Structure 1
Amino acid sequence: MIEFFSYCRLQTGCLVFLLYIGFLMVKGSEKDSNRNIFSDLLYCCGELCVVFDAITAWSVNKVGYVSMTANYVFHGIFYVLLEAELWFMYFYFRSIVNRLPKSLAEKILFIVLALGIAIATLVTMPQVKIVEGKTTNYSYGTPVFIVFSLVPVFLFFIAVFGGGYVRRADPVKKLTFSSCFVAVTFFTVLQLVFPESLVTSLNVSLMITAVALNNENPMFHKLERVMRKYEMEKNYYDRLDEIEQKQAIIRHDEKHYLAAIGGLCAEGKTEEIEKLLKVMNIELQKNTPRKYVRNRIANALLNEKENFAIKQNVRINYQVEPEVDLDAFEEIDIIAMFGNLIDNAVRAEKEWQESHGILPENSEVSIKLFETEGNFIMLVVENHFSRVDIKNGKLVSTKELPSEHGIGLFNVRLLCEKYGGIFDMDMDEDIFISSICLPKEKI
Structure 2
Amino acid sequence: MENDLLSVSRLFFCGADVYMLYRFFAAIFKQKWSGKKRIISSIITVLLIFFENAVGSVTLNFLTVPLFCYTYIVSSFKISLTNGIAYTIIYFTFVGGREVLFELMYRFLSKILPFYIPPWFTSGGIYFLFIEYVAGFLFLLYIEKYIKKLNVSNNNIISWYLLIVPILSLTISSSFLYMDFPEETFIQILMCACAFLLYFSNAAIFIILEKYTDVMNKVKYAELITVKKDMENEHFQNILKINDHYRCFMHDINAYFNSFRMLAMDGENKKIVEIIDELKGKIQKETSSVIYSGSPVLNAVLTERVSRAKEQGIEFTLFVEKFLKVDFISDADLISMFGNLLDNALEAAARCEPDNRKVNVKVFMGTSYFLIFYIENTFAVSARREGANLLSTKADPKHHGLGLGIVTTLAEKYGGSLNLEEKNGLFITTLTISAFAES
Asked if residue 386 in structure 1 is aligned to residue 430 in structure 2, the reply is no
- Contact 1:422–1:437, Cα closer than 8 Å, also in 2: yes
1:41 is aligned to 85
Q: In structure 2, how many angstroms separate the alpha carbons of the residues matched to 1:386 and 1:414? A: 27
* Gap runs ≥5 in structure 1: 1-17, 75-91, 98-117, 141-194, 255-267
| Paired letter, 1:39 | N
Structure 1 282/392 Cα, relative in aligned 2: closer, same or farther at 3 Å? farther
Q: In structure 1, how many angstroms separate the alpha carbons of the residues matched to 2:196 and 2:176? A: 23
- How far apart are residue 326 of structure 1 and its match? 2.7
Q: 1:50 aligns with which of 86, 94, 98?
A: 94
Q: In structure 2, how many angstroms separate the alpha carbons of the residues matched to 1:196 and 1:35? A: 31
- How far apart are residue 337 of structure 1 and its match? 2.4
Structure 1 418/245 Cα, relative in aligned 2: closer, same or farther at 3 Å? closer
Q: In structure 2, how many angstroms separate the alpha carbons of the residues matched to 1:248 and 1:371? A: 29
Structure 1 45/408 Cα, relative in aligned 2: closer, same or farther at 3 Å? same
- Contact 1:59–1:66, Cα closer than 8 Å, also in 2: no
Structure 1 279/34 Cα, relative in aligned 2: closer, same or farther at 3 Å? farther
- TM-score (norm: length of structure 2): 0.52
> 1:293-331: CA deviations, max 9, x gaps?
233433333234334545655453211112223344444
For the residue of structure 1 that corresponds to 2:29, the secondary structure is helix
Q: In structure 1, how many angstroms separate the alpha carbons of the residues matched to 2:281 and 2:240? A: 18
> 1:269-311: CA deviations, max 9, x gaps?
999999987885665245x2x3222334333332343345456
| Paired letter, 1:198 | L
| Paired letter, 1:297 | V
- TM-score (norm: length of structure 1): 0.52
- Contact 2:100–2:173, Cα closer than 8 Å, also in 1: no
CA RMSD between the two structures = 5.5
2:363 is aligned to 369
* Gap runs ≥5 in structure 2: 1-20, 34-73, 112-116, 121-128, 130-152, 159-169, 250-269
For the residue of structure 1 that corresponds to 2:323, the secondary structure is coil
1:25 is aligned to 28
1:5 is aligned to none
- How far apart are residue 434 of structure 1 and its match? 0.5
Asked if residue 430 in structure 1 is aligned to residue 425 in structure 2, the reply is yes
Structure 1 246/324 Cα, relative in aligned 2: closer, same or farther at 3 Å? closer
Structure 1 372/63 Cα, relative in aligned 2: closer, same or farther at 3 Å? closer
Compare CA radii of gyration and give the structure with the larger one: 2
Q: 2:399 aligns with which of 392, 398, 404?
A: 404
- Contact 2:309–2:346, Cα closer than 8 Å, also in 1: yes
Q: In structure 2, how many angstroms separate the alpha carbons of the residues matched to 1:439 and 1:396? A: 23
Structure 1 400/35 Cα, relative in aligned 2: closer, same or farther at 3 Å? farther
Q: 2:225 aligns with which of 220, 224, 230?
A: 230
> What are the residue-to-residue correspondences of 1:53-92 with 2, within 5 Å?
53-66=97-110
- How far apart are residue 339 of structure 1 and its match? 2.2
Structure 1 392/211 Cα, relative in aligned 2: closer, same or farther at 3 Å? farther
- Contact 1:293–1:323, Cα closer than 8 Å, also in 2: yes
Percent identity between the two aligned chains: 20
Q: In structure 2, how many angstroms separate the alpha carbons of the residues matched to 1:302 and 1:34? A: 33
Number of residue pairs the alignment of both structures matches: 313
- Contact 1:43–1:208, Cα closer than 8 Å, also in 2: no
Structure 1 371/245 Cα, relative in aligned 2: closer, same or farther at 3 Å? closer
> What are the residue-to-residue correspondences of 1:200-349 with 2, within 5 Å?
201-203=200-202, 205-207=204-206, 209-210=208-209, 214=213, 227=222, 229-240=224-235, 280=282, 283-286=285-288, 288=289, 290-310=290-310, 314-349=314-349
Q: In structure 1, how many angstroms separate the alpha carbons of the residues matched to 2:366 and 2:341? A: 20
- Contact 1:232–1:301, Cα closer than 8 Å, also in 2: no
